[in-house]
Chains A and B, each alone.
Chain A
Amino acid sequence: MAREAQPHEPVQASPVADIQHHPKDLGSLFARRPLVLGEVEAEYDEFLSRVTRAVKPTDTIETLWVKDVVDLMWEAQRYRRVKAGLLMQVGRQALTEHLTKVKGAGHVEGVRRFTVAELVTAYVEGDSIAVEEVTRILRSRGLDTDMLMAQVLTERLEHIERIDRLIASADARRNRALSEIDRRRDAFARRLRVAANDVIPVADL
């Protein structure tokens, strides 16, 4: 039986030939990747292979669970990306709205350096001059970025809550799949232990 990776050991990349059961061998439906626009097939394949190599499924049922775990982790990551994108979009929008109302936004030392859109982009990219200018403008209006976000988040709270629910749902399913693998392997290990205990006295004789 293949030796399982210990928790403290880094998972060694072994050739695919070492893997007896791989989710893509379960049929065309399982070989199809559940990807959305912007996701890269190679990254999903690499992730699936890494998890498969680490878990080393010993039969078809464990392979089903590996596929579950991978898909659900991928899905949760996707929702997290969507949420981060949404927060970024909301923040940019709010900042643009605020800066548009400020006369002279984008002027540094009396010289027009940025348009509002450029100022927001430079701020998001971490340009030190833009960060300083935006912080100054917000402070002069008694605001900071957290307060700005809090103001606009209420509008999108429903979206964020829904995305959070989907993340929680995917995480719960992943945890259940993991505990099913544990339960099954525990039962198998217990059976092995009982069998081994029976075998030892016979050998001693």
Chain B
Amino acid sequence: MTERMRVSIFLIAGCIFFGLYCYASLNMPPWGHYRGPYGDAIARVAVYERHATDVVNAINYDYRGFDTLGEEFILFTAVLGVMMLLRREEGVPTRPVGKVEDESKLSSAVRVMCRPAVTVTLVFGFYIGSHGQLTPGGGFQAGVILAAVPFLIYVCENVEAFRRVTSHAAVEVIEAVGAGSYALIGLAAVLFGVPLLTNILPLGKTGDVFSAGNIALISVCVGVEVTAAFLLVGFTYLQEIITGEMPEK
């Protein structure tokens, strides 16, 4: 394909896009105007029924909790797949290829700023995770934010610091426990003779950190699972760089 053809195809596609874009922009509903019955209906009943002010998480972890359970196991399976593909087999001899130099090349100014950045990220992650039922956020977002902390340490400090945080076998167990406890919370409802994932815990006072029953608990479990999942994937990818050993071929 010649350069000229490529540009002409882009121009044609660009013209079509621009036409559709203008059409869509001119016909957008007024800002803040919601069309459709379901959002209004759920916004009216969710705070009363579930004592959760963040209706999105009330839907995710309660009204359609079974869907989210499936989504959580999608992440679990994906991490399992990555670890299976990149795993290091037991007993295969490795050869040292030289450790990556442990000295950080960053300026000391950046490294000084690393500590406050880690602190702020940690606090923000815990806040997002524990206030899932009150404000936008929840377990999944909190998990990703918290998992970013060791990588921040990796960038600012050195490989060794990252290895100390992530190389524990406990991370695997924590991930499995996080994923499993969601299912167990759901099954606990069955023991009490109500349908799967029914909100059986006391709902508490609307606006409290410990309110909305199952929703807050599931949110924390998902947060634990996602944090461990991202750390596991990160460690699996970086294993050779961290240990400075590669399997012999």
Is A bound to B? Answer: no
